Structure 1
């Protein structure tokens, strides 16, 4: 059965992303676009338009043009969107990296994405330089490391600003890649997701009639800009609509709560761990949050009880949304003002979006009301994985259906619920963690013969990576030693947080790890 949106289709938008998002920026003049929530540094819409144009001219003078990739490795700053949109304005593609990434992870993405330059901040120069060294050692390529601020021995991207014109170029929005974020998809290691200008601009149009942001609204930006969720709602949609974005370089509880009240925030886009803070932290009850209109929670499922608790405490409309990097990213959202929507649902299908629910074992459509793997078809489906046609074909079938790996159900009123995952991906506090990536790290330990990783739940109901480890004969290993080894090689959110030693990893004849047996072992009392 094919499910269609209850909302009319929207036109496909064949604009370039910077044109779509910043098309009205110059006319907005002195309206604040970006405010550093810590320092107060402000960039107005007029300044943003000028900075993007001047930096694009500078990047073009450095040789950045159509098909060239700029890697942006930075926490949230008011300069981040300047670099982001200046790159696409110059004709290039942006690939974003987590500020928590290790040198090895950065280098791997730089090589895979074929990045020409790396833009970071002075505080992250250590891993950025180390990554550039690794790339040079591995490939011979020299990648210049620039900074968004100032650092001795490195050029600042703001030093590239120039008044010259960007040379003309021709990009077809339907195929030209605007952004290359990395995602693990349903299985495997992180892969570059090719999102075209059409993908992103049409997805912005799909959400426009369901969730309203207006000029003068105030949005708190604690989600990371490098992540597709933050990129979509805190940069693209917020700046398109003329909102003021209060930029937080990292999540700090006191600063977050202070900003909610002081900055008279109207919209907050959050993940479940922050919702828990809003439900239970004593300070929240002392704040004047009368300006807050709406909270949207995404990145991981939000428990119905927690959603209700925050709604009751704050007296504010709360909804959920669903998407994934490969979907540009949105497909479902709580529609503004829909008071009949039950808690824990992720809302309704976007316009111009179709869905199926499929039994992952039989491939047959699930019966009405029954759960199945969610398949999506629409203009927001990615172009594919960069340089990985086989992975693309495994994710998007010949009929254009993207197989999300998430198990969903839909009720008779068209409310959608995400109930499980058939994919192997672990979601730790909204961050993607690929078991295969951690397994490769574990197998690099000289005293580990074999390993497998699955997601388990801790005492606070967060999904965390657990490693099952087979030691080499005669080796003496401790769980703590294994965890310390992994933590030195991966970003903090990817760390293995539990270890169990096991005689053998269960595998199929093909060699595929039988994770379901490990999950069953986890559920069975010792």
Structure 2
């Protein structure tokens, strides 16, 4: 059932099968790479890495927007058993420092930066030795593992190589050396470390094997029915599994072309769908919302036929609009976590009602269990509880963090997701919220996701996020942050009355606040910890409060 090939082995087989068909398309530079070209480019780069002394198990970090070089570097590292450490481009200087140290990376690949954020400036402020050292001979007391820096673009840095130079170094390396390096690998060896984008605390490095990446891409791609006629617009970041595994390699392994956007920009994405005749768009809910709020009449989106939505809960209304306005009738809800990649997914043959209301059924190789959050016993069919996952694609652990690994995986190998779900008699799973987000008001457990889904059905609500705030009498009260629909004259009481028609009285938000946008992680999840921080000083212990409206 499962493939035991490494990523480079299965990609070589794929590249030979699809030959001169387009594999990677990069409109920004008007570049196209065929399957055969990415195979040869990755071999050349792998040889270059060998000249620098890179060996099996070495950690190579990358800090960059999406590009063909990103994908080719991953394939090159995979050929020789190096582990690619994927760094979030939203990382602050201190976060970059933490990841480089914690991951024990010996090489760093990076681009200059984007949108006024200079990755190079942040790096040289952390490691000023790069301004004067010889290339490949970095010595830093603060970063003792890091020896080499390579730029992916034309940016200049005295102590860094350029990726074109690195490929040229490999010209003198024979194929035998590369082949011998590959023979030392198995599918169980680590391929990547993805750092989770948690809302609090330091990120944790999730170690995923070749086996997990390859096989999860295969089963997800099969359920999406990717084929060689598909052109997948990649706007999701490659430093996340939804962009790397479930979009890029899930597509490539079935012969699809990947049209690469450096990052998501609404108008650019819509233009690329039209110009490149993209058949697939995968995204997080906010991406779809931004697209749907554009003037769609300006674009020909008739080529679109497939896509998944992941990263955060999606309202039924948004699903209907994606189907109707964007024309993606077979839109697939996809649920996953970095620790297990794709977990559940809608299939092309699932009917509309399940497509809209559920996150599908477990992917092949995934076993699930729902437990009562109070007793820890398995919940009855249809009852809410925490989702536990046992999967063939589970992480090897958090890098250098056994305590966190033991906390996430129990002694029987179940991953505790922290998500509240229910399962119907047909096996379809419904997200009910996050356990840690559960509001306990006067002894009642309340799911913020339930309230958010109701609020999003109001014509005046573009998006909603619900949090708990302290209350002297009830312990916690409900506070709803709302982004109003453009042109809507906001009326908090009207919103509350609408909520009261669809929710029990104790679930109606007491506090309603309007905001222009939500703070979100790079995977599209609302940073509720940030929302709580923004209002923490407002909610002092008092005996009674009236509904408050505040614009942030």
Change in Cα spacing, 1:457 to 1:155, as seen in structure 2 (3 Å) is farther
Q: Among residues 121, 124, 127, which one is paired with 1:129 in the alignment?
A: 124
After superposition, the C-alpha distances for 1:282-326 in whole angstroms (9 at most, x for unaligned) are 2x1343222211121001111011111221223322121000100
| Cα offset, 1:132, TM superposition | 3.9
Change in Cα spacing, 1:493 to 1:58, as seen in structure 2 (3 Å) is farther
| Cα offset, 1:187, TM superposition | 7.4
Aligned length: 449
Residue equivalent to 2:359 = 346
Q: Is the 8 A contact 1:21 1:237 kept in 2?
A: no
Name stretches of at least 5 consecutive residues in structure 2 with no aligned partner: 114-118, 130-138, 439-447, 450-477, 486-518
- After superposition, the CA RMSD in angstroms is 3.3
Which TM-score applies when normalising by structure 2? 0.74
Residue equivalent to 1:435 = none
Q: Among residues 277, 284, 287, which one is paired with 1:271 in the alignment?
A: 284
The answer on 1:459 being equivalent to 2:471 is no
Q: Is the 8 A contact 1:60 1:167 kept in 2?
A: no
- Using the TM superposition, name which of 106-115 and 151-160 deviates more: 151-160
Residue equivalent to 1:509 = none
The answer on 1:151 being equivalent to 2:151 is no
Residue equivalent to 1:373 = 386
Q: Among residues 395, 414, 419, which one is paired with 1:382 in the alignment?
A: 395
- Using the TM superposition, name which of 184-193 and 207-216 deviates more: 184-193
**Paired residue secondary structure (2:300):** coil
Residue equivalent to 2:470 = none
Q: Is the 8 A contact 1:181 1:193 kept in 2?
A: yes
Change in Cα spacing, 1:225 to 1:208, as seen in structure 2 (3 Å) is closer
Residue equivalent to 2:77 = 87
| Cα offset, 1:203, TM superposition | 1.4
The answer on 1:173 being equivalent to 2:186 is yes
- Using the TM superposition, name which of 72-81 and 30-39 deviates more: 30-39
For residues 272 and 522 of structure 1, the distance between their equivalents in structure 2, rounded to whole angstroms, comes to 36
Q: Which has the higher contact order (CA 8 A, sep 6+)?
A: 1
Q: Is the 8 A contact 1:341 1:415 kept in 2?
A: no
For residues 325 and 52 of structure 1, the distance between their equivalents in structure 2, rounded to whole angstroms, comes to 25
| Cα offset, 1:332, TM superposition | 0.7
Q: Among residues 396, 399, 406, which one is paired with 2:409 in the alignment?
A: 396
After superposition, the C-alpha distances for 1:235-270 in whole angstroms (9 at most, x for unaligned) are 211221221111111222221111111111101101
For residues 399 and 316 of structure 1, the distance between their equivalents in structure 2, rounded to whole angstroms, comes to 40
Residue equivalent to 1:412 = 425
Q: Is the 8 A contact 1:331 1:353 kept in 2?
A: yes
For residues 233 and 130 of structure 1, the distance between their equivalents in structure 2, rounded to whole angstroms, comes to 35
Q: Is the 8 A contact 1:220 1:245 kept in 2?
A: yes
Q: Among residues 346, 371, 383, which one is paired with 1:334 in the alignment?
A: 346
After superposition, the C-alpha distances for 1:93-146 in whole angstroms (9 at most, x for unaligned) are 001112221221111111111100110013332223334459935344444221
Change in Cα spacing, 1:424 to 1:67, as seen in structure 2 (3 Å) is farther
**Paired residue secondary structure (2:29):** coil
For residues 197 and 273 of structure 2, the distance between their equivalents in structure 1, rounded to whole angstroms, comes to 33
Q: Is the 8 A contact 1:120 1:128 kept in 2?
A: no
Question: Equivalent residues in 2 for 1:101-116 (5 A)?
Answer: 101-116=91-106
For residues 178 and 307 of structure 1, the distance between their equivalents in structure 2, rounded to whole angstroms, comes to 34
Q: Is the 8 A contact 2:212 2:393 kept in 1?
A: yes
Residue equivalent to 1:73 = 63
- Using the TM superposition, name which of 260-269 and 154-163 deviates more: 154-163
Which TM-score applies when normalising by structure 1? 0.78
Residue equivalent to 1:430 = none
The answer on 1:500 being equivalent to 2:535 is yes
Change in Cα spacing, 1:66 to 1:412, as seen in structure 2 (3 Å) is same
Computing the radius of gyration from Cα coordinates, the structure with the larger value is 2
Residue equivalent to 2:455 = none
The answer on 1:295 being equivalent to 2:307 is yes
Q: Is the 8 A contact 1:275 1:307 kept in 2?
A: no
| Cα offset, 1:457, TM superposition | 5.5
The answer on 1:362 being equivalent to 2:352 is no
- Using the TM superposition, name which of 173-182 and 369-378 deviates more: 173-182
| Cα offset, 1:186, TM superposition | 9.8
The answer on 1:237 being equivalent to 2:241 is no
The answer on 1:35 being equivalent to 2:25 is yes
Q: Is the 8 A contact 1:106 1:131 kept in 2?
A: no
After superposition, the C-alpha distances for 1:341-390 in whole angstroms (9 at most, x for unaligned) are 43131111111211011112211111110111000112111111111112
Q: Is the 8 A contact 1:360 1:373 kept in 2?
A: yes
| Cα offset, 1:43, TM superposition | 1.6
Q: Is the 8 A contact 1:22 1:240 kept in 2?
A: no
**Paired residue secondary structure (1:241):** coil
- Using the TM superposition, name which of 371-380 and 308-317 deviates more: 308-317
| Cα offset, 1:493, TM superposition | 9.0
Q: Is the 8 A contact 2:305 2:327 kept in 1?
A: no
Change in Cα spacing, 1:524 to 1:270, as seen in structure 2 (3 Å) is farther
